[in-house]
Amino acid sequence: MNKRAAGVVFISLAVILFIFRNSVYYMSGAIIAARNGEVNTGMLASALDLIEQPYSILPEIVCLIVGAGYVIWAEMKKE
């Protein structure tokens, strides 16, 4: 696999991790709010206060930096 493809894979992985982390967070909040009754903005906000993010943002940042590094490295070594 060349450097450019590896960079794109790491950047894609960062995007997938970001989407997964946020979707799990909001779906969990919606499930908790729905269990307590009618779902509206206030109940969703209070349910989101009860839960924490599934994991830190660090894996996304690391994948993004590594991917950008690979893409930049591939462009600098372009023949």
Q: What is the mean pLDDT of the chain?
A: 86
Cα 1 to Cα 70: distance, rounded to the nearest angstrom: 12
Indicate the pTM of the whole model. Answer: 0.77
Helix (H, G, I), strand (E, B) or coil at 78: coil
- Mean pLDDT of the region 1-10: 89
Going by pLDDT thresholds of 50, 70 and 90, the confidence category of residue 65 is: very high
7 has a pLDDT exceeding 70: yes
Q: Which two tokens stand for residue 3?
A: 């450097």
- pLDDT at position 79, please? 52
- Mean pLDDT of the region 24-52: 81
- Domain boundary assignment for the chain: 3-76
41 has a pLDDT exceeding 60: yes
